Amino acid sequence: MSKRKIKKSIKYSFIKILTGSDLSVRKLAYMQVDSNINGPVVWLTGCVHGDEVGGIVIIQEIFKRLKKSPLIKGSLHAFPLMNPIGFELVTRGISLSEEDLNRSFPGNASGTLAERMASKIFAAIMKSKPTFVLDMHNDWINSIPHILIDPFPGQKHKLAYSNTKLLASKMGFPIINEKEEAEESEELKKSLSGSLLARDIPALTLEIGGASIVSSIIREEEIQDGVKAIWDVLTYLGMVNPIIQDYNYEFPQQIKNKILKYSHQPVCSTSGIIRYLVKPGQLVKKDEAVARIYNVFGKLQETLVASNNGLVLSHYDYSIAYPGAEIIAFGLF
């Protein structure tokens, strides 16, 4: 019996998203590879925030690897650069309309600029009947890789949520439940992953290191780890053959098989200069000092302590503190 030939070619194309006032056409880059054998349909997306560029490179590296180790079954699709306007101006949102694209899903074909872009992206993903969508982001510059899972979407979408957690467990990073405060939870429903979960599509967010640049040994190690994490998921789904590769980042064994709770607490109550006492990837205990705030003359203004046992995920990008400022992120036990 002859085996069916597996397609190895990768298709590159564009999807129109808008026409400018000068009649120029803006497009989204689209990448696709199909094994020609029935199987899972997986999407990789990156740079929904214009200054979060790591996902672009991770997607590029995954598709390069597929040229040497092709898909066994199913298909892989990608939008490596979802927010070209923000990327070109090095801004998080869409500078023309000051909107957050990742709070505009599932979009509206007749809505605002961000809603129209979101509508194009969302329609293309849904048309393929996806099995799983992995949206890549970057956190503050000083951060460790971690996976964010949206707040529980309700019993109606329990299966999609369970499958999301299962797929997250196949990656080598800490798993964090997103914020569950009512106001922020409502906003998260308009994210790409939140909107997909509401339609019973397993989806998660991969936070892979710091934003803005892909440079130096540290950043490249984060890219390598992101590639491995995605390849491990594709391996679990039976889409590719495993490749032996160690993670550059290893999470503490104490949090293995745990889903942690995201927190920015404590926040600053005074203004001044931040001096951190803990670093990303470090475990902390409740009431342990994590940062101190000093005034311009070096006088201690405030000592911030951990609200619970947890894992330090990231530091704020700047040294300035002010009342209400979120300067450190945790995954709490």
Phi/psi at 102 (nearest 5 deg)? -85, 15
Where are the domains positioned within the chain? 10-251, 255-332
Q: How far apart are CA 257 and CA 320, in angstroms?
A: 36
**pLDDT tens readout for residues 216-234:** 544 788 899 999 999 999 9
- Coil, strand or helix at 266: coil
Give domain 255-332's CATH number out of 2.40.50.100, 3.40.50.880, 3.100.10.20, 2.60.40.3080: 2.40.50.100
Q: Quick one: CATH architecture of 10-251?
A: 3-Layer(aba) Sandwich (3.40)
User: Nearest 10 degrees: CA dihedral of 111, 137, 45, 199?
Assistant: -60
Residue pair 296/321 in contact (Cβ under 8 Å)? The answer is no
Mean pLDDT along residues 56-63: 96
Task: Give the per-residue pLDDT at 24.
Answer: 73
Mean pLDDT along residues 130-153: 94
Residue pair 10/59 in contact (Cβ under 8 Å)? The answer is no
Residue 185 has pLDDT above 60, yes or no: yes
Q: What is the mean pLDDT of the chain?
A: 91
Task: Give the per-residue pLDDT at 5.
Answer: 44
Q: How far apart are CA 82 and CA 69, in angstroms?
A: 26
pTM for the whole thing? 0.92
**pLDDT tens readout for residues 243-302:** 888 888 888 888 888 999 999 999 999 999 999 999 999 999 999 999 999 999 999 999
Residue 167 has pLDDT above 60, yes or no: yes
Residue 4 has pLDDT above 60, yes or no: no
pLDDT confidence of 160, banded at 50, 70, 90?
very high
Q: Do domains 10-251 and 255-332 have the same CATH topology?
A: no
Residue 9 has pLDDT above 70, yes or no: yes
- Closest of 100, 190, 207, 186 to residue 144, by C-alpha: 207
pLDDT confidence of 6, banded at 50, 70, 90?
very low
Give the lowest-confidence range in 135-139, 195-199, 252-256, 308-312: 252-256
